[in-house]
Amino acid sequence: MPGIDFFDVDHTLTRRSSGGRFVVIAMRRGILPLYLVFIIPWYSLMYRLGLFRLRVYADGFPYLRDITRTRLEQLSRESFATRLRGDLFPAGVALVQKLQREGRRVMLATSSIDFIVAPLAEHLGISGVLATTLEFKDGICTGKFIGTPMFRLKKKERVLAFLAAEGVSPGECSFYSDSIYDLPLLEAVGTPVAVNPDIRLRRIARGRGWTIIDLG
């Protein structure tokens, strides 16, 4: 069975955060509190500086509690159509399409929430998505995560568990990412590719002779 090409989403395929775009739309529609507009930039800065810690989300994402899946999926489609689609790097889209034409299986492996990136995956013709998942009961969001968010070692664990179940060797796979947070998974696949890498990942990629792609 041929390998799989995994892509991170935020800052790898898109210029901006898929979650951030969703939150802005949700605030405008009265789903999320407006004071989040002051918190998001801080989270974003901590992430880019490599200081973000998963414990921030230890209690899940309670702001989405009691909202229906239907409504959240609707907001995700709106977020993609009005914002996130325009954030896509054209060269990134072209790369995904090239791999697909070559008969490669392309999947997303992202810390973003699954329903947020679902419209993006559909747009790119990608059927496989490994992402952070929120819990729903009777179609209503509890605000809690199912398992642990797809972040750092957890992303590596989720991808490797998926590959084992599929009978695919990690050595036959590639992973495209911008972030030092994804170093564990980059080290676990046969072809690690640093895309728009942050400073620390760029330094490591250069030192190890990994492919570096700057999409603009």
Q: Consecutive sets of 10 residues in the chain, 216 residues long: mean pLDDT of each?
A: 91 93 91 65 56 56 91 97 97 97 96 96 96 96 91 94 97 96 97 96 98 93
Please, which residues have CB within 8 angstroms of residue 55's CB and are 6 or more apart in sequence? none
Q: Which CATH number fits domain 4-213: 3.30.470.20, 3.30.70.20, 3.40.50.1000, 3.40.718.10?
A: 3.40.50.1000
Assigned token pair, 64: 């989405």
Domain boundaries, the chain: 4-213
β-strand pairing of 140-145 with 105-113: unpaired
Give me the pLDDT at residue 123, please. Answer: 98
User: What secondary structure does DSSP assign to 18-66, as a single string?
Assistant: HHHHHHHHHHHTTSS-TTHHHHHHHHHHHHHTT---GGGGTT--GGGTT
Q: Could you give the angle at the alpha carbon of 171 between the alpha carbons of 194 and 214, nearest 5°?
A: 15
β-strand pairing of 105-113 with 4-7: parallel
The span from the CA of 78 to the CA of 30, in Å, is: 14
> Would you say how long the chain is, in residues?
216
Q: Are 134 and 60 spatial neighbours (Cβ–Cβ below 8 Å)?
A: yes
The span from the CA of 106 to the CA of 6, in Å, is: 6
Which of 178, 121, 113, 117 lies closest to 147, judged by CA? 113
Give me the pLDDT at residue 63, please. Answer: 85
Write phi, then psi, for 168 (nearest 5 degrees): -110, 135
Q: Are 31 and 75 spatial neighbours (Cβ–Cβ below 8 Å)?
A: yes
Q: Are 179 and 199 spatial neighbours (Cβ–Cβ below 8 Å)?
A: no
